[in-house]
Amino acid sequence: MIGKISARGHRVAGLIYYLYGPGRNEAHTDPHLVAGWRHPAELEPPLRADGRRDFRNLTGLLQQPHAALGQRGFERPVWHCSVRAAPGDRMLSDHEWAQVARDIMHRTGLAPWGQDDDAVRWIAVRHAPDHIHVVAMLARQDGTRPSFWNDRYRVGEACRAAEERLGLRQTAPRDRTGAPRPTRAESEKARRQGRSEPPRITLRRAVSTAAAAAASEREFFARLDAAGVSVRRRYSTHNPGEITGYAVALPADSTRTGGPVWYSGGKLAPDLTLPKLRHRWAASGAAPRDQFTAAERDTIWEHAAQAASRATAEIRSLAGTDPGAAADAAWAAADTLHAAASALGSQELRRAADSYARAARLPYGRTPRHTGTGTSLRRAARLLAAAAPALDDPTYAQIALILRLAALIEAVADMRAAQCHAAQVSAARAAAAHLHAARCAYGVRPAPQHVRSRSSRAQPDFPFSIHDAVARASQTASSAQDTTRTSRASRSPAPPRPRGPTR
């Protein structure tokens, strides 16, 4: 069950007319009240002689407390929350929906139990089998303004309580690790413009990739400029020249007036604010150079695979005893995923990085402390970004990194499952599925049963044999180094280095 609070409005009459109307595509059927500050039978709008409803009495009663407050009331007094059950849930009765609505009003503090004559006036309208709309006026009948701090989280608690009480599909708690989703207006605008995804998603991916490859603010903003993203810096009003935040926009995405549509870092993802990025860059070293030989590129990919393997071992060992120490490695794994996806240009890796982002974050906006394993993963991500772009045909070292990242993400999924973070578990498992799909796309098959049984003692939760891939990657790097030395001595062009398996 999902509860969504809409933006507050000015006129309650217009909202009630819409709820009792046919709706978009005639979707509203049999609209009626199921609950309110009084019995629904007393508040139900009567039918006129022409068959239409008379809403004057209902809207007048709802507006009376706000009119009595006058200038002391809210400028936008209409509070609106829609509550919807999952498609696979059973159909709830009017009495059960009334219980859900009353619990929402109680938990938010708008209408606590036993205060029907003193709290706000509200109604719950049901015009479809699977959802209701709760409408309230933000003015108490005792002449004061209501307190409804953190009402969105209280609505989520009421929905989870209803799921447990009524035997409905369980949803994840609101742990503030999810990134803001595109609004309906953004999705429809992107569809009209022929975009494959809303600009918010495109910008989130671009900012995450730039943050993974950068070591400082200057490099971060330079990478965004190079990616074709418009950047607007926010400066301090007390200390001129000090940057306190930023916003990004796509050049082709404009408002009605022709200006760009800006998104701040916090509107893209919780960990993309400038303070969070500065904390991420605090342990970074000097920026790597951007010119590498073929052998050095293979070595970089092999180094990243080894860093991912060490992070997997650390998360497996610390998940049950000290999950806080493993949190930095889980967070840094997102940077390595974004850098590898950008270097390889793989859509499956991009989907894996997008899916994994929520699993990497700590609940409630907390920031993990820096660890050596997390710093190693971030440095590997920056090296991958500096060594990009990769060749069309992946080498064994690159395939080994994909396999090691799959093992790392599965370890994070197990850690989040032990912590009972259902949404993060789902995000990590979805990312692991995309990594396995990328492995299949490169022609790497699962190892035979006898090979898996031997390797499972070292990595019991990693079902693929990567020893051959790593060994071949090392041989490839060594032969490439020998070839480079021979070519420099003879001053003749070097032969092409061995390629990986074809697609």
CB 326 within 8 A of CB 314: yes
Residue-level pLDDT at 367: 86
Is 48 in the same domain as 158?
yes
Could you tell me which residues come within 8 angstroms of residue 14 by beta carbon, excluding any fewer than 6 positions away? none
Position of tokens 């006058």?
70
Domain count, the chain: 3
Is 111 in the same domain as 196?
no
Q: Is residue 36 part of a domain?
A: yes
Q: Is residue 176 part of a domain?
A: no
Q: Please give the Cα distance from 33 to 19 (Å, whole number).
A: 10
Residue-level pLDDT at 26: 62
- SS3 of the chain: helix, strand, coil, percent, to 5: 55, 10, 35
Is 118 in the same domain as 214?
no
Kindly tell me the sign of the dihedral angle through the C-alpha atoms of 317, 323, 325, 328: positive
Q: Please give the Cα distance from 266 to 275 (Å, whole number).
A: 10
Q: Find residue 123's DSSP bridge partners.
A: 36, 135
Q: Find residue 232's DSSP bridge partners.
A: 247
- The encoded tokens of residue 230 equal 């418009």
User: Residue 398, Cα to own-chain centre: how many angstroms?
Assistant: 27
Is 307 in the same domain as 448?
yes
> Pick from 166, 198, 222: which residue ends a domain?
166
Is 382 in the same domain as 336?
yes
State the Cα torsion 328-329-334-337 to the nearest 10°.
160
Residue-level pLDDT at 391: 54
Burial class (CB in 10 A: 0-12, 13-18, 19+), 105: buried
CATH code for the domain of 121: 3.30.930
Q: Find residue 78's DSSP bridge partners.
A: 9, 137
Helix extents (H) in 90-175: 94-108, 151-166
Q: Is residue 502 part of a domain?
A: no
Reference 269, options 340, 334, 327; nearest CA is 334
Q: Is residue 474 part of a domain?
A: yes
Q: Is residue 21 part of a domain?
A: yes
| Tens digit of pLDDT at every position of the chain (503 positions) | 899 999 899 999 999 999 998 877 667 788 999 999 999 999 999 999 888 899 999 999 999 999 998 888 888 999 999 999 988 899 999 999 999 999 999 999 999 998 988 999 999 999 988 999 999 999 999 999 998 888 998 999 999 999 999 999 888 777 778 888 898 899 999 999 999 999 999 999 999 999 999 989 999 999 999 999 999 999 998 888 899 999 999 998 999 888 999 999 999 999 999 999 999 888 766 656 666 777 788 888 889 999 999 999 999 988 777 777 789 999 999 999 999 999 888 899 999 999 999 999 888 778 888 888 999 999 999 988 887 765 555 677 788 889 999 999 999 999 998 888 888 999 999 999 999 988 877 655 544 443 333 333 333 333 333 334 334 433 433 443 444 344 334 433 444 444 444 43
Position of tokens 């330079």?
222
Is 194 in the same domain as 267?
yes
Conformational region of residue 167, where left means phi above 0, alpha means psi within -120 to 50, and beta covers everything else: left
Is 216 in the same domain as 155?
no
Reference 111, options 131, 81, 83, 84; nearest CA is 81
- Integer CA distances (angstroms), 257 to 238, 253, 260, 261, 356, in order: 31, 11, 9, 10, 36
Is 337 in the same domain as 405?
yes
Is 203 in the same domain as 342?
no
Q: Please give the Cα distance from 170 to 232 (Å, whole number).
A: 41
What b/e sequence results for 322-349 when a residue is b if at least 16 CB atoms lie within 10 Å of its CB, and e otherwise? ebebbbbbbbbbbbbbbbbbbbbebebb
Could you tell me which residues come within 8 angstroms of residue 366 by beta carbon, excluding any fewer than 6 positions away? none
Instruction: Report cis status (omega within 30 of 0) of the bond before 199.
Output: no
> Which secondary structure element, helix H or strand E, spans residue 254, and what is its range?
none
Is 277 in the same domain as 314?
no
Q: Is residue 40 part of a domain?
A: yes
Q: Is residue 495 part of a domain?
A: no
Rg of the Cα trace of the chain? 28
Position of tokens 């990009």?
388
Residue 264 has phi, psi (to 5 degrees) of -75, 165
Q: Please give the Cα distance from 138 to 149 (Å, whole number).
A: 13
Q: Is residue 289 part of a domain?
A: no
Kindly tell me the sign of the dihedral angle through the C-alpha atoms of 84, 86, 88, 90: negative
Is 95 in the same domain as 154?
yes
Q: Provide the residue range defining the domain that includes 344.
A: 294-489
Residue-level pLDDT at 423: 87
Indicate the residue type of 337. L
> Pick from 281, 315, 330: which residue ends a domain?
281
Residue-level pLDDT at 411: 93
Is 364 in the same domain as 226?
no
Could you tell me which residues come within 8 angstroms of residue 127 by beta carbon, excluding any fewer than 6 positions away? 19, 20, 23, 28, 29, 30, 31, 32, 133
Q: In angstroms, how far is the first alpha carbon of the chain from the final one?
A: 43
What is the reported pTM?
A: 0.71
> Pick from 166, 193, 215: which residue ends a domain?
166
